[in-house]
Amino acid sequence: MLLQPSTFKPSSFHDITIETKPKHLIELCTKYNINFFMHNDGEDKSNFDFEFETPDGLYFTVYDWKEYKKLDFDKIYKFHIGTENLLDSLDAKEVLVDELNNLK
């Protein structure tokens, strides 16, 4: 289960990524009623920014990075996972993989 974070928390990239389609991340947000940022025009460093939190308090962000093009909703891209530390990034990836697999 994922939650809409109650507050913004600082996060950093720890070289952990996940490959998925933008539409799958959007479906996750829709499933759990989570807001996300979409400015899919390729003019910024990021087209999509997602913020998630687990019931036990793991906060993480998911975002595309420096594609510099409009993303196709049905194409697989590499998304960065941002957290407080490397261990949290690994946990966040595991949560995401499980949640994305449950969508199918």
Model pTM score: 0.95
The confidence score (pLDDT) of residue 104 equals 72
What is each CA distance from 41 to 48, 69, 74, 96, in whole angstroms? Answer: 10, 6, 16, 25
Task: Look at residue 97 and tell me whether its pLDDT is greater than 80.
Answer: yes
pLDDT one-digit tens code per residue, 19-55: 999 999 999 999 999 999 999 999 999 999 999 999 9
